[in-house]
Amino acid sequence: MLGAPIDIGASQLGTLMGPAALRTAGLLGVLDGLGFDVRDHGDLSIGDVAELTDVPPDTAKHYREIQRWTRALSTRSYELARSGAVPIFLGGDHTLSMGSVNGIARHCKEVGRELFVIWLDAHADYNTPATTLSGNMHGMSAAFLCGEPGLDGLLGDEPRSSIDIDQLELFGTRSIDKMENELLRNRRISVADMRQIDEFGVGVLIRRVIDKVQARHGVLHVSFDVDFLDPSLAPGVGTTVPGGATYREAHLVMEMLHDSGLVRSVDIVELNPFLDERGRTARTAVELIGSLFGQQITDRPTPTNAIGGGD
């Protein structure tokens, strides 16, 4: 586990407390109880990362500091992947994926495996400096990973390892900006939005992703934004969108991804404890990561959101 306490990529501050909240909610204990050798590398610091001299885009807020985070995360992500570990990056806002996924993708290319990214998120995060309405860089992370122009100097001398557009799977999407949507359509990005989930069911759509990755002998990075969940389950986010995944739908996604044996790295992002209700969102996120790493329903304690509970 590696924390990335960053919140300047979002419009609302507070996600820098996310890593601490996930630890407090028992993430390490859950993984340890599943038999994993868990090592907590603490929180990443960018105090010794030098600033670059490229010209920042006019429509990318806090570009210079996010650039330092991205470079540092990419380097550490690559090192962790090379070590044979399954890195879990604790966020922090979704800009951390620009670095975490880049480092994983770099390693995958070196070993000849395709890296697919499943983006569990209410938002597509496929804006660029040319399309963004807000300038918030957490909404540009998926586009950056697919090699879209506009943030070309973000990594400096750190190798950029973009994924192909058919290696990105947006899942649970229900809030997309107009120009962003046009870009997604032009690129033919795979989007399983909530309408499709309602119509076909989460199991069918996740199975399609799994089958695609398996057919190409690929591996999966799970980028889990807690606003993928319905706000009734996860109020502790700054960008709540009604109509998200239910408790069971989310667990089924994680259980099926675990059963596939394809997951090699994970992001947990956008948890804002300042907006949470007595840690409810953090505990739910930890339960879901437990499912992703093999926790069975029969082994799971009474859900944290249940009223009353059991003895």
Q: Is 125 a catalytic site residue? A: yes
Q: Is 255 a catalytic site residue? A: no
In contact, 223 and 97? CB cutoff 8 Å: yes
Q: Which residues contact 165 (CB under 8 A, 6 or more apart)?
A: 146, 187, 188, 189
The pairing of strands 263-269 and 115-120 is unpaired
Q: Which residues contact 184 (CB under 8 A, 6 or more apart)?
A: 124, 126, 170, 176, 191
Q: Is 54 a catalytic site residue? A: no
Among candidate residues 121, 158, 193, 249, the one labeled active-site is: 121
What is the rounded distance in angstroms from the CA atom of residue 172 to the CA atom of residue 151?
26
Side chain identity, residue 4: A
Q: Is 258 a catalytic site residue? A: no
Q: Is 276 a catalytic site residue? A: no
Q: Is 166 a catalytic site residue? A: no
Among candidate residues 7, 62, 93, 125, the one labeled active-site is: 125
Among candidate residues 62, 107, 138, 251, the one labeled active-site is: 138
Among candidate residues 62, 94, 251, 258, the one labeled active-site is: 94
Q: Which residues contact 107 (CB under 8 A, 6 or more apart)?
A: 78, 81, 82
Q: Is 225 a catalytic site residue? A: yes
Among candidate residues 62, 123, 221, 258, the one labeled active-site is: 123
Among candidate residues 177, 227, 230, 276, the one labeled active-site is: 227
What is the rounded distance in angstroms from the CA atom of residue 169 to the CA atom of residue 185?
14
Among candidate residues 93, 270, 276, 287, the one labeled active-site is: 270
Residue 265's Cβ-side half-sphere holds a number of Cα atoms within 13 Å equal to 30
Among candidate residues 169, 180, 225, 267, the one labeled active-site is: 225
Q: Specify the DSSP element, H or E, that contains 225.
A: strand 219-225
Side chain identity, residue 22: L
Q: Is 94 a catalytic site residue? A: yes
DSSP string, 13-78: S-GGGHHHHHHHTTHHHHHHHTT-------B---TTPPP--SPPPTT-TTHHHHHHHHHHHHHHHH
Q: Catalytic residue numbers? A: 94, 121, 123, 125, 138, 225, 227, 270
